[in-house]
């Protein structure tokens, strides 16, 4: 299990007021939505230095120090809402934990529900919390990428995220250049283009 990767070097936890977290599993098709949405947000926008964008993967309790350090927490994830595939929902504040455990599609969901509970026990629960979730179409395709239906919703999810962040007083700036290697939120070989191009057919 690799350590979480973010756009801010280790040691900057105390300076991170806003955590934008993509969680899920890239190896199981639409389960990778959260990470791909975070990647796309990072590729398109720059943020103030106290904003961290992170690939949380399936890290579970390893994310606790990051969550405890955040005043604002925004999550991207694939969630079993019982809706039509591709439908987006925004869940806020106290309603978020119940959706993180609505249906155990993979190990990360129960783990992250526990992360939020643990943060609360330490009295370090985020002041603002929002989940941008998508109803997945396909999960049982090991090694598969996002389905076209889910990939098509990433742009909309990013727009929703920008609006939420603006409500929280956080301004996003459109990137004029591609992110540098040090700004990537995950290994370059796992970026969606490389992942889809290099994986066996």
Q: What is the value of pTM for the model shown? A: 0.80
- Can you tell me whether residue 71 is helix, strand or coil? coil
Write down the pLDDT at residue 114. 83
From CA 44, how far away is CA 41, in angstroms rounded?
5
Tokens of 19: 């955590």
- Quick one: what percent of the chain has pLDDT higher than 90? 40
pLDDT (average), residues 107-122: 75
Residues 77, 35 contacting (CB under 8 angstroms): no
**Structural domains of the chain, with CATH:** 15-194 (3.40.50.1450)
pLDDT (average), residues 171-200: 64
Write down the pLDDT at residue 103. 47
pLDDT tens, residue by residue, 85-98: 999 999 998 888 88
pLDDT tens, residue by residue, 33-79: 999 999 999 999 999 989 999 988 777 788 888 988 899 999 999 99
Q: Is 99 left (phi over 0), alpha (psi -120 to 50) or beta?
A: alpha
Give the model's confidence band at 6: pLDDT under 50 very low, under 70 low, under 90 confident, else very high.
very low
From CA 40, how far away is CA 124, in angstroms rounded?
28
pLDDT (average), residues 27-38: 89
The answer, yes or no, to whether residue 186 has pLDDT greater than 70, is no
């Amino acid at each position: 299990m690799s350590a979480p990767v973010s756009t801010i070097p280790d040691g900057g936890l105390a300076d991170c007021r806003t955590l934008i977290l993509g969680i899920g599993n890239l190896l199981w098709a639409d389960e990778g939505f959260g990470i791909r949405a975070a990647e796309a947000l990072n590729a398109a926008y720059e943020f103030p230095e106290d904003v961290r964008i992170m690939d949380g993967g399936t890290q579970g309790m390893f994310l606790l120090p990051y969550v405890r350090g955040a005043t604002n927490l925004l999550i991207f994830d694939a969630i079993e809402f019982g809706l039509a595939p591709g439908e987006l929902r925004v869940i806020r504040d106290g309603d978020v934990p119940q959706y993180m455990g609505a249906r155990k599609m993979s190990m990360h969901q129960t783990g992250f529900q526990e992360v939020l509970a643990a943060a609360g026990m330490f009295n370090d629960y985020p002041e603002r919390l929002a989940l941008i979730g998508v109803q997945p179409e396909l999960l049982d395709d090991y090694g598969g990428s996002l389905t076209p239906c889910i990939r098509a919703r990433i742009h909309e999810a990013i727009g929703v995220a920008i609006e939420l962040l603006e409500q929280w007083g956080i301004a996003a700036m459109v990137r004029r250049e591609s992110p540098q290697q040090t700004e990537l939120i995950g290994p370059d070989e796992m970026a969606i283009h490389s992942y889809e191009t290099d994986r066996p057919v």
